[in-house]
Amino acid sequence: MLLSHGGEPLRTADRAARWTVEQVLALAPDESSRKAGSKLGSAGPWSGGGCDASGAVWGLCKGSGSKPYQTVVDTTGPAYKCSCPSRKFPCKHALGLLLVWASGESALPAGEVPDWAGEWLTGRRKRAADKGVKGGQAAGGASAAGPADPEAARRRAERRAERITGGAQELEQRLTDLLRGGLAAADQSGYGLWEETAARMVDAQAPGLAARVRELGSIPASGPGWPVRLLEECALLHLLDSAWLGIDRLPEPLAATVRTRVGLTAPAEGPPVRDHWLVLAQYDTPDGKIVTRRIWLYGRDSGRTALLLSFGAAGRSPGLALPVGVTIDAEITPCPGAGQLRAELGGQFGVPSPTGTPPPGGTAAAAIGAYGNALRDDPWLDAWPVTLREVIPVPSEDGWQLVDAAGDAALPIAAAALSRPGLWKLVALSGGSPVTVFGECGHGGFDPLAAWSTDADAGAGACGVDADGVEISSVDTTSETVPLI
């Protein structure tokens, strides 16, 4: 069976730039696919391959059967198609083909697209072009698509809100019972009680509350000091319950954040923001029966950081995938809520650039201040995206920390990052010298996601002041992004 998937193609006549090996491997849906794709990353198993200026890459990969697998990639999406039966996107054959392409022009010479690949490329680009025309008409005219029956949609929303309110009231009662009986009882009751409560929140159509209840259930087994952590999380959950029950009295930005936190989705709204977006990081996290993919972007001209979310289920990797380190000329539409970090990816223009300029960086103290400011708008925020400028990874008694080159402040590296290979990539990139690091700064420390070496000959770059009055500096040279996750 032929399987295909991918994003919007880019309508351009420019020559597509080759990606790096790191950018290709960052697209792998999991570690097993990364290893399997690496084994196919040489010219040996491939035949009839090539590439063209539009960003198409194709090849025939020898498999266990009599016929080779037909693999084609549109790097401007990116999008993939392979005749193998894999349910992963990209599959190991697509990853291997891209690795061969990244190794140099001799492995996959320029040529004309064969019929078997051209048919798919032409069809998908035509469908995307038609989709773009329809989307533009809807956005620019008064006939923008809305609910087929607005009154029915309003009644459904009211019924769901009533169910969530009932679930929040029940959750408040269970939290009260827990505190009345003492936190020690939480260790004795086991995880079953929490799972039952989470199931009730799912029935109330409040998946955000259900996820937080499940987190509560895992805290008693998290090691010494768990009662303190449990009390903290219970307080945050009580705050969210209270906010929902009194949502009519909240200002709209905070009310939008509360709706998102309890699990209500909101469509992207407002004018699209077109910019040259550097793909900072991409990683997947399991969330029950689905996998959530997070992609961080940074706008070169707007200075804006954006988060794209994509979801996969039933053994399928999330649909959206962007190579880390490339810069795309694209539009995004922000979603409502505090900070407006989350956005939806819109149309793309031109050929992606394989490199980009890192975001402006600040000190460790500025990063903590930025997270603190974000907490004022969203008290349930676990972390905030920040970039640290001129920091050095240094071992500490209980792990590692990122120390300002001036030596006056430091941030501990989050425990989750200590066991990842990315930590040693960061240490090797630094070699004792300052580096620029992007990551998520939160109550658990700093989680590094990407890094850039600091060019000593380039100087400090342009200086400026952020929205909070903190002095920042930016790297004024284009450099390669090193993914750390």
Helix spans in 389-432 (H): 415-418, 421-430
Task: Look at residues 266, 289, 283 and name the one whose alpha carbon lies nearest to residue 210.
Answer: 289
Fill in the DSSP letter of residue 457. Answer: G
Judged against a pLDDT cut of 90, whether residue 76 lies above it is answered with no
- Cα separation, 74 vs 98, in Å, equals 10
Question: What are the distances in angstroms from CA 284 to CA 6, 28, 431?
Answer: 17, 10, 28
Judged against a pLDDT cut of 50, whether residue 461 lies above it is answered with no
Tokens matching residue 159? 């019924």
pLDDT one-digit tens code per residue, 205-256: 999 999 999 888 888 888 888 999 999 999 999 999 999 999 999 998 899 8
Please state, for a pLDDT cut of 70, what percent of the chain lies above it: 86
Instruction: Output 209-215 pairs: Cβ under 8 A, ≥24 positions apart.
Output: 209/164, 209/167, 209/168, 209/171, 209/237, 209/240, 209/241, 209/262, 209/263, 210/263, 211/263, 211/287, 211/288, 212/236, 212/237, 212/240, 213/171, 213/237
Of 3-17, 152-166, 258-272, 418-432, which range is least confident? 3-17
Q: Is 367 exposed, middle or buried (0-12, 13-18, 19+ CB in 10 A)?
A: buried
Q: Are 23 and 323 in contact (CB under 8 A)?
A: yes
Judged against a pLDDT cut of 90, whether residue 93 lies above it is answered with yes
pLDDT band at residue 163 under the 50/70/90 scheme: very high
- As a whole number of angstroms, the longest Cα–Cα distance in the chain is 74
Fill in the DSSP letter of residue 339. Answer: G
- Residues 6 or more apart in contact with residue 198 via CB below 8 angstroms: 210, 211, 213, 214, 217
Q: Are 453 and 429 in contact (CB under 8 A)?
A: yes
Judged against a pLDDT cut of 70, whether residue 148 lies above it is answered with no
Q: Give the pLDDT confidence score for residue 459 in this predicted structure.
A: 40
Quick one: CA torsion of 465, 469, 470, 473, rounded to 10 degrees?
A: 0
Report the mean per-residue pLDDT for the chain.
84
Question: What are the distances in angstroms from CA 144 to CA 39, 149, 157, 216, 332?
Answer: 48, 14, 21, 43, 18
- Cα separation, 292 vs 397, in Å, equals 33
Q: Is 48 helix (H, G, I), strand (E, B) or coil?
A: strand
pLDDT one-digit tens code per residue, 397-446: 889 999 999 888 999 999 999 999 999 999 999 999 999 999 999 999 99
Q: Is 87 exposed, middle or buried (0-12, 13-18, 19+ CB in 10 A)?
A: middle
DSSP H or E stretch at residue 401: strand 399-404
Q: Give the pLDDT confidence score for residue 437 in this predicted structure.
A: 97
Q: Is 357 helix (H, G, I), strand (E, B) or coil?
A: coil
Quick one: CA torsion of 3, 83, 14, 346, rounded to 10 degrees?
A: 10
- Residues 6 or more apart in contact with residue 182 via CB below 8 angstroms: none
Judged against a pLDDT cut of 70, whether residue 121 lies above it is answered with yes
DSSP H or E stretch at residue 120: helix 115-140
pLDDT one-digit tens code per residue, 282-296: 998 877 678 888 999
Tokens matching residue 151? 């009154």
Q: Give the pLDDT confidence score for residue 473 in this predicted structure.
A: 47
Q: Give the pLDDT confidence score for residue 83 in this predicted structure.
A: 93
